[in-house]
Amino acid sequence: MSAVIIRRCPVCPAIDSHANTISLALLAGFGLRAQIEDGNKDEFSILVDGVTVLTRTDTALPCVEEVEAAVQAARPVNKSVTNTGTVHQTVPIKPQSPASSN
């Protein structure tokens, strides 16, 4: 399982609230429990296994979908080798919600 850290500004309530929103989205979407840590003033960064995969721009915080895509892209690829020597790669995907029935 990947270790996800959200580094956020320790004094900005809007960034703190956004960090909590992102943390809940990662838990719901991927089953990942993100650790929220104090960062530098005005910081909002996402780290996966110690590597920064996304950071805020000067004008905007990344949306949930951007964070999910960055985390998904950074998650490790599982490899398995069959008895024929063929390598199969499986990339974790975001679980799909069950289709609603009417």
- pLDDT for residue 90: 46
Cβ-based burial of 12 (10 A; exposed 0-12, middle 13-18, buried ≥19): middle
Q: Do the domain assignments include residue 99?
A: no
- What is residue 36's DSSP assignment? E
Q: Do the domain assignments include residue 91?
A: no
* pLDDT tens-digit profile, the chain (102 residues): 579 999 999 999 999 999 999 999 999 998 999 999 999 999 999 999 999 999 987 788 999 999 999 998 887 665 444 555 554 444 444 554 555 444
Q: Do the domain assignments include residue 62?
A: yes
Q: Do the domain assignments include residue 39?
A: yes
Domain count along the chain: 1
Based on C-alpha coordinates, what's the Rg of the chain? 16
Phi (first) and psi of residue 70, to 5 degrees:
-65, -40
Q: DSSP 3-state assignment of 18?
A: helix
Domain that holds residue 61: 4-77
Cα distance between residue 93 and residue 4, in whole Å: 16
Q: Do the domain assignments include residue 85?
A: no
Query: Which CATH number fits the domain that encloses residue 44?
Result: 3.40.30.10
